[in-house]
Structure 1
Amino acid sequence: MNNIKVSILIPAYNVENYIEECLHSLKCQTLKEIEVIIIDDGSTDKTGEIAEMYAHSDQRFRVVHQSNKGLTQSRNVGLSLARGKYIGFVDGDDYVSKDAFEQLFLRADTYSADIVLGSVLYTYEDGTSHRVGDKSAVFQSYPGTMEGKQCFKLLMKTGCYIPMVWSNLYRLEFIRQNQLHFEAAFHEDEFFMPYALFFAKKVIDINIDFYFYRQRQGSIMHSDRNLIRRSESLFS
């Protein structure tokens, strides 16, 4: 498949009750020039079977089956296989709006951005939701892009910083030139995001609700109280 604009990486482990909604939201994207790479991380339920069903019906979907190695290694496998101009991340139990990657790509491509920063909607079983990571307070004085180091400092100062990688879009060449990858067994985003911002020359935000982060029992929860950790040392 030629002219892939966005590669979407999906690590998935035992999410048979949610993976179909996730994949359907990607199959229906208004941006058609995408590839979806699903890394089935040793699932013992029907997650892998559902992923294969999508791959058989849509050539844009690919499935990698591996023994259980965890989220960190699953994302790194996806990064090694990606062929798009930009990279997006979606967890297997979450989903996105139908125009998510069209909006993200247009924003990135217009400004030749290394990173497009977004927010995320936490969604709950009772149907409620709330927005996290709105960065309009930081970018309202910047009509274009800003340098990543400056952006990080302003995000921290205003309390807008969130480390989740799936709220953003990244230029693949930028990731590979700077050898960005995932480390650590837990809170792996907290290692990736500060380095990405440290190296980024052009960062811009997008003020739309496009990512729906499902809050459920049994998932790996990312606490708002654990966002800083070691990242500030890069910028001091």
Structure 2
Amino acid sequence: MKPPLPPLLSVVVPVHNVEAYLADCLRSVADQTLEAIEVVVVDDGSTDGSARIAAEFAARDSRFRLVRQRNAGLSAARNAGVRHTTPTVPYLAFADSDDIVVHDAYERMTASLESTGSDLVTGNVWRLTERGRQQAWQYRWLTASRPRTHITRDPRLLADRVAWNKVFRRSFWDGHAFSFPEGKLYEDTPVMIPAHHLARSVDVLHEHVYYWRVREGSITRRRTDVTGVRDRIAACEQVSAFLGGRDADQRRAYDTSCLRDDFGYFLDGLPMGGEAYRSAFLEAAGAFVDRAGPGALEGLPVELRVKWQLVRERRPEELLAVLAFERANGAGTFAIEGPPGRRRAVYPGVRGASARLTRTDVPAVARLLEARWGADGKLRLRGYAYLRNLPAASPRQRLTVGMVRAERGRRVRPVPVRSVSAPEATVHSGQELHGYDHAGFEMVLDPDRLPATADGGGWLVGLVLAAPGTVRRVAVRAP
């Protein structure tokens, strides 16, 4: 039997009452293509069979060690795990005990750091639910790898706030004395965003490295938890203060992202929460909006600007009324009042719930319902297209023009469009405020009259939609 390789990577796995998932997690770490690892499993006072499962792994694999402690929370378990790793091992990683690490993730990530000399590497994430795996929405932007980049050059890394899809250079971790805040929920962000800023460079891998298990019951409970909302907002304030001393633009972008993503989770929980939860939310979130100022609202969709303005004005009844309207009609549905150039989004029956519209607040929606070749060799397209929240109750309220260009070309050719009835447009919109029954279109494409394409190329088809004061382009794509 060959002797074990000196470890290249230390992996810390905090454990608390996850016996249903722990074996899969530890197996995914044990079976990594990078064999030169040490794994410190910290049992944080489990009362189920988790410690037994971890001990069995340690008994049969000398790379695993089990550390036991009284229950002190995730941050304390992670910090204890780091203290029990070998400090001379070059790299450090964290894995949560109900998740799964992609089989070659650690080999790819350490190889990247060895090649570039960056201080940390981060990778793409799958979301794992009872319905299977899905792309984690926080990483949809991650379509290409970026070696030796930095959060100041790629602000989208502001969304990369978790510890478990990363490998850190150990000298970098120790040099900045990173540790997770103990006794708090949402412990990753106050460490990960500063780490991104303090790193000399960061490697970003677009290939997936991690399966993040999302347990719906846990999400629902945390969404209406008083401690949870206070800790989440406090964590964001801590990071915002860190950025405030370094980069005002980054701070503003981060504040906006908190209002768009982090706090939206708790905002949507207001109807389910009790008085204590609503009071805690308004107090903490209101203080955040007061401090961040109006500039943090500017980059948000209009429906969020309305909600956060109501939070800023401490008007919980109107806020709950807007949320109730959205539950009935879907997010992003509202009425529009005022002449072109001075239009406002308003919520019927909710006093003072309005905000000025920007160009991006009136998007075009297009769906293709049918595409078929006729006996004459022409392609017939049928679908619907409308400007969201601008009713299409009659064909006279809008103008639609078809456009076609070769996939690899630049020349655009107009194509006649016939307006037709499409009641399914209103049905599919999921709301009852606006009628889109006359948003239907039909187009006939004759290949002999279309722009020439390169070998193997196709055509791109789009529409230009126009209504008083508004013009939008939208692509027509097959479902």
Task: Place the TM-score, normalised by the shorter chain, in its bin.
Answer: 0.7 to 0.9
Q: CA deviation at 1:119?
A: 2.1
- 8 Å contact kept, 1:10–1:90: yes
The answer for the alignment partner of 1:211 in structure 2 is 210
Q: TM-score, normalised by structure 2?
A: 0.44
Distance 1:219 1:63, change over 3 A: farther
Q: CA deviation at 1:198?
A: 2.5
Q: CA deviation at 1:218?
A: 5.1
Following the alignment from structure 1 to structure 2, what is the Cα–Cα distance between the partners of residues 178 and 115?
A: 13
Superposed CA offset, 1:137-169 (max 9, x none): 7x77x6x413xxxx334554x476221011111
Do structure 1's residue 122 and structure 2's residue 140 form an aligned pair?
no
The answer for the alignment partner of 1:19 in structure 2 is 22
The one-letter code of the counterpart of 1:229 is C
The answer for the alignment partner of 1:234 in structure 2 is 242
Do structure 1's residue 92 and structure 2's residue 91 form an aligned pair?
no
Name the structure with the higher strand share.
2
User: Of 165, 168, 182, which residue of structure 2 is paired with 1:167?
Assistant: 165
- 8 Å contact kept, 2:127–2:135: yes
Q: TM-score, normalised by structure 1?
A: 0.87
Following the alignment from structure 1 to structure 2, what is the Cα–Cα distance between the partners of residues 55 and 219?
A: 29
The answer for the alignment partner of 1:111 in structure 2 is 116
Q: CA deviation at 1:174?
A: 0.7
- 8 Å contact kept, 1:25–1:95: yes
- Structure 1 stretches of 5 or more lacking a match? none
Following the alignment from structure 2 to structure 1, what is the Cα–Cα distance between the partners of residues 6 and 15?
A: 26
Following the alignment from structure 2 to structure 1, what is the Cα–Cα distance between the partners of residues 92 and 160?
A: 18
Distance 1:213 1:51, change over 3 A: same
Do structure 1's residue 35 and structure 2's residue 43 form an aligned pair?
no
The answer for the alignment partner of 1:10 in structure 2 is 13
The one-letter code of the counterpart of 1:54 is F
Larger radius of gyration: 2
Superposed CA offset, 1:155-198 (max 9, x none): 54x47622101111101111111111111411110111122122
The one-letter code of the counterpart of 2:58 is A
**SS state of the match for residue 19, structure 2?**
coil
- 8 Å contact kept, 1:118–1:135: no
Do structure 1's residue 176 and structure 2's residue 174 form an aligned pair?
yes
Following the alignment from structure 2 to structure 1, what is the Cα–Cα distance between the partners of residues 37 and 242?
A: 33
Following the alignment from structure 1 to structure 2, what is the Cα–Cα distance between the partners of residues 105 and 135?
A: 23
Q: CA deviation at 1:23?
A: 0.6
Distance 1:234 1:170, change over 3 A: same
Following the alignment from structure 1 to structure 2, what is the Cα–Cα distance between the partners of residues 218 and 6?
A: 34
The answer for the alignment partner of 1:198 in structure 2 is 197
The answer for the alignment partner of 2:381 in structure 1 is none
- 8 Å contact kept, 1:113–1:203: yes
Distance 1:16 1:76, change over 3 A: same
Structure with more relative contact order (C-alpha pairs < 8 Å, separation 6 or more): 1
User: Of 115, 120, 133, which residue of structure 1 is paired with 2:139?
Assistant: 133
The answer for the alignment partner of 2:334 in structure 1 is none
- Structure 2 stretches of 5 or more lacking a match? 224-231, 248-479
